[in-house]
């Protein structure tokens, strides 16, 4: 039976400092058994959403660690942004995916909330299925007044007393933790800049004002265009196509139309299939008619006949995977070689005195190997999002106004991943120095090879950071990232010189 699987989608009140986002992301990725599925940062909202999955215990640990890191790095007294928020780690929803019930996830949420309150001294509110009382099921009620309003009321209003933790707000603010079903964050843009029209349409579709059940909506202005920003909390009972068609009809009343729509984060495949079936009117459709479903049903022994080798993919005539993914792949190879040398050293009497050092090196190398392997896919996903943004229409000033911030956001993300790869390559280089210095002498050349690969990975990653930053119009984050990259490259250069000296002295190898 497959192991239980839980999804976590923490929202952080930061997007404009890439180094902070990278540290939070790294904190999550370091937890054994966690897979990061997606992350996106919105510079206007100054908000980052990360989606990761894993077994319950791993998700609980990763959630605590990222809340702690956000509390350390984000000061809510200095935060500004377009999205409602009350804390650094603003909201942390858990979603049961496989082999685990809602009630079991509620227990995780409660344990997590209590630990955050006791260890980090952060007020914690429980919402949705984990709510301690009915009025706290809705996130909007908990976030009423945002950080500033809650700060002035939390100590004097009994209704705002947190479920766990102190009745006072520090610089990390408060955190909302809960359990919900898969949610679709979905925005519809109109062919107008009149935000009042968006607000009227939002009232017509959201449940709280007489619209559809399981729809939360508000009308806002984004880059000069009216937007209906929505959360669809149960797409089975209120499908996405029904909401879109209602918005389309309501918009016609005001002489406007839908310009385009967008997803924030991930969407269940079933929700898109349902919409396609409805629009195309495939009355007798069954999921078995989908090609990918058929391919998934092929036995593993048959799939082996069609190997998906990374080198073959790299050589194919497709834009992804490309240089960024190759950098991550090369970095993972470097980490694997470091791990190999550490294992060849452990258990040898001759190297008993460095046993503890090699154990630490092995643990860190394996963590970096997994993170760098995962970065191959993350880099490809970031580039695909950039290409999608680049294809947005730009024939009119309105379309250009909408396209530019989307392209800016995608470009920023495309630079962030290789920067993280370069950082990890530098860490691998440091570990390579340790195995070259203290590891099994018979494998010293493998340690040197690891260093060479880590250096190559950092150079390739640096190329990808720089080429993406050239396209950023906001030069402030670009300068910050270039400064970080410069520091990484200096560290790698110094470490490489040390490694070459050790290879020459200890291994009698003269590079």
The angle, 0 to 180 degrees and rounded to 10, between the axes of the packed helices 444-469 and 397-438 is: 160
Question: In degrees rounded to 5, what are phi and psi of residue 38?
Answer: -165, 150
Catalytic residue (one of 75, 83, 234, 260): 83
Q: What is the 3-state secondary structure (H, E, C) of 165-207?
A: CCCCCCCCECEEEEECCCCEEEEEEECCCCHHHHHHHHHHHCH
- ∠ Cα 199 202 207 (to 5°): 140
The angle, 0 to 180 degrees and rounded to 10, between the axes of the packed helices 475-506 and 444-469 is: 160
Q: What is the 3-state secondary structure (H, E, C) of 412-446?
A: HHHHHHHHHHHHHHHHHHHHHHHHHHHCCHHHHHH
The H helix count followed by the E strand count for the chain is 16, 11
Distance CA 109, CA 7 (A): 12
- ∠ Cα 242 247 248 (to 5°): 95
Strands 225-232 and 215-222: antiparallel
Catalytic residue (one of 259, 379, 446, 455): 379
- ∠ Cα 309 390 327 (to 5°): 35
**Torsion sign over Cα 502, 418, 30, 269:** negative
Q: Is 329 a catalytic residue?
A: no
Q: Please, where are the H alpha helices in 39-137? A: 56-73, 102-120
Q: Which residues of 366-394 are buried (b: 16+ CB within 10 A; e: fewer)?
A: bbbbbbbbbbbbbbbbbbebbeebeebee
Nearest to 180 by CA among 115, 113, 122, 131: 131
Q: Is 379 a catalytic residue?
A: yes
Collect all residues with Cβ–Cβ distance below 8 Å to 167 and sequence separation of at least 6: 123, 154, 155, 161
Distance CA 453, CA 331 (A): 6
Question: In degrees rounded to 5, what are phi and psi of residue 143?
Answer: -90, 10
Per the structure block, which two tokens stand in for 262? 């967008």
Q: Which residues are catalytic?
A: 83, 379
């Amino acid at each position: 039976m497959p192991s239980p699987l839980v999804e976590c989608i923490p929202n952080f009140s930061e997007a404009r400092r890439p180094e902070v986002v990278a540290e939070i992301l790294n904190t999550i990725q370091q937890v054994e058994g966690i897979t990061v599925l997606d992350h996106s940062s919105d510079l206007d909202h100054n908000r980052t959403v990360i989606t990761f999955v894993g077994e319950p215990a791993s998700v609980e640990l990763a959630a605590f660690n990222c809340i702690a890191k956000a509390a350390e790095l984000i000061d809510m007294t200095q935060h500004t942004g377009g999205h409602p928020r009350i804390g650094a780690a603003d909201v942390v929803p858990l979603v049961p995916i496989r082999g685990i019930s809602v009630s079991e996830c509620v227990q995780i949420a409660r344990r997590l909330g209590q630990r955050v309150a006791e260890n980090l001294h952060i007020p914690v509110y429980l919402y949705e299925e984990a709510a301690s009382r009915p009025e706290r099921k809705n996130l909007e009620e908990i976030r009423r007044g945002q950080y500033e309003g809650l700060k002035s009321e939390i100590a004097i209003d009994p209704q705002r007393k947190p479920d766990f933790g102190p009745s006072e707000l520090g610089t990390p603010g408060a955190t909302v933790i809960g359990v919900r079903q898969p949610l679709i964050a979905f925005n519809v843009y109109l062919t107008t800049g009149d935000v009042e029209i968006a607000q009227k349409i939002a009232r017509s579709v959201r449940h709280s004002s007489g619209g559809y059940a399981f729809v939360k909506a508000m009308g806002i202005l984004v880059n000069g265009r009216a937007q209906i920003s929505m959360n669809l909390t149960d797409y089975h009972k209120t499908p996405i196509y029904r909401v879109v068609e209602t918005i389309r009809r309501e918009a016609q009343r005001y002489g406007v139309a839908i310009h385009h729509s967008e997803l924030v984060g991930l969407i269940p495949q079933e929700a898109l299939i349902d919409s396609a079936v409805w629009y195309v009117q495939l009355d007798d459709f069954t999921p078995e008619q989908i090609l990918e479903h058929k391919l998934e049903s092929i036995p593993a022994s048959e799939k082996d006949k069609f190997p998906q080798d990374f080198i073959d993919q790299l050589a194919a005539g497709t834009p992804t995977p490309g240089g960024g993914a190759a950098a991550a792949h090369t970095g993972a190879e470097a980490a694997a070689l470091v791990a190999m040398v550490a294992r060849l050293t452990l258990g040898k009497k001759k190297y008993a005195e460095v046993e503890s050092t090699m154990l630490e090196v092995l643990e860190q190398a394996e963590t970096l190997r997994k993170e760098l392997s995962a970065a191959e896919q993350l880099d490809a996903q970031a580039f695909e999002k950039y290409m999608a943004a680049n294809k947005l229409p730009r024939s009119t000033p309105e379309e250009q106004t909408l396209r530019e911030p989307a392209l800016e956001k995608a470009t920023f993300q495309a630079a962030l991943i290789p920067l993280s790869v370069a950082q990890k390559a530098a860490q691998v280089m440091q570990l390579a120095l340790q195995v070259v210095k203290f590891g099994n002498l018979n494998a010293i050349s493998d340690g040197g090879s690891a260093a060479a690969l880590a250096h190559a990975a950092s150079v390739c990653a640096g190329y990808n950071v720089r080429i993406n930053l050239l396209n950023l119009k906001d030069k402030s984050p670009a300068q910050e990232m270039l400064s970080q990259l410069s520091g990484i490259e200096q560290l790698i250069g110094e470490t490489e010189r040390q490694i070459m000296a050790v290879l020459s002295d200890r291994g009698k190898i003269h590079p």
